[in-house]
Amino acid sequence: MLRVSRLVSWTLALYAVASPAYSAPSGDVLSLLRDADRGRGGIQQGLGWTVSIDSQDDGDSSSTTYQVRTRGDNAYVEVTAPARSKGEVFLFNDRTIWFFKPTLKKPVAISARQKLTGQAANGDIASTNYARDYDAKIMRKEPVNGASCFVLDLKSKHDSTTYDRIRYWVSEKRRLGIKAEFLSLEGKILKKAEFKYDQKVVVDGKSLDFVSEMIIVDALNSANRSVMHYAKPAIVKTPDSLFNVNNLLR
Partner 1 sequence: MILAKLGIRNFWLQRQRNLFALSAIAIGVTGLICIGGYIDRWEHTLRTDTIYMRGQGMVSIYRKNGWLMSRSLPKKFSLTRSDQDKIYAIIEKLPGVERVGSVLNGSGLISNGCHSQPFEIRGYDLAVDQWMRERPIVKKWCANSLRFIRGQSFATTAPGPLIGIATGLAGLIGKSAVKALTSSAGPLTSLTEYCSGPGAAARIAEDSNVQLMAMTASGHFNATDADIAHVFSTGSKVNEDTQLTAPLSLVQDLLQTDRVSSVAIYLEDFRRTDAVARDLRERLSQAGLSYDVHVWNERKLSPMYSGLMNFLHAMSLFCTLLIGSVVVLAVVNLTTMNVLQRSREMGTLKAMGFGSGALVQIFFVEAAVLGVLGCLIGTGIAKVLAIGIGHAGIHFTPPGSSVAQDFLIVPDVLTIFEVVVFVLALVALSAAATAWALGRRSCLDLLTHSA
Contacts to partner 1 by CB under 8 A: 55, 57-58, 60, 62, 64, 82, 85, 88, 99, 101, 103-110, 114-118, 245-246, 248-250
| Max intra-chain CA distance, the chain | 82
Smaller CB separation from partner 1, 171 or 224:
224
Whether 192 contacts 86, CB under 8 Å: no
> What's the min distance (Å) between Cβ of 60 and partner 1?
7
126: helix, strand or coil: coil
Burial of 5 (0-12, 13-18, 19+ CB in 10 A): exposed
> What's the min distance (Å) between Cβ of 65 and partner 1?
12
CB atoms within 10 A of CB 80: 15
Smaller CB separation from partner 1, 82 or 239:
82
CA distance linking residue 207 with residue 210, whole number of Å: 9
Smaller CB separation from partner 1, 125 or 152:
125
Residues found in the chain: 250
CA distance linking residue 89 with residue 227, whole number of Å: 21
> What's the min distance (Å) between Cβ of 228 and partner 1?
15
> What's the min distance (Å) between Cβ of 58 and partner 1?
7
Smaller CB separation from partner 1, 53 or 131:
53
Smaller CB separation from partner 1, 100 or 230:
100
> What's the min distance (Å) between Cβ of 221 and partner 1?
13
CA distance linking residue 91 with residue 70, whole number of Å: 10
Whether 187 contacts 216, CB under 8 Å: no
Smaller CB separation from partner 1, 13 or 108:
108
- Measured between its terminal Cα atoms, the distance across the chain in Å is 82
Could you tell me which residues come within 8 angstroms of residue 129 by beta carbon, excluding any fewer than 6 positions away? 37, 42, 73
Q: Number of H helices and number of E strands within the chain?
A: 4, 17
The phi and psi torsions of 115 (rounded to 5 degrees) equal -65, 130
Smaller CB separation from partner 1, 56 or 171:
56
> What's the min distance (Å) between Cβ of 61 and partner 1?
10
191: helix, strand or coil: strand
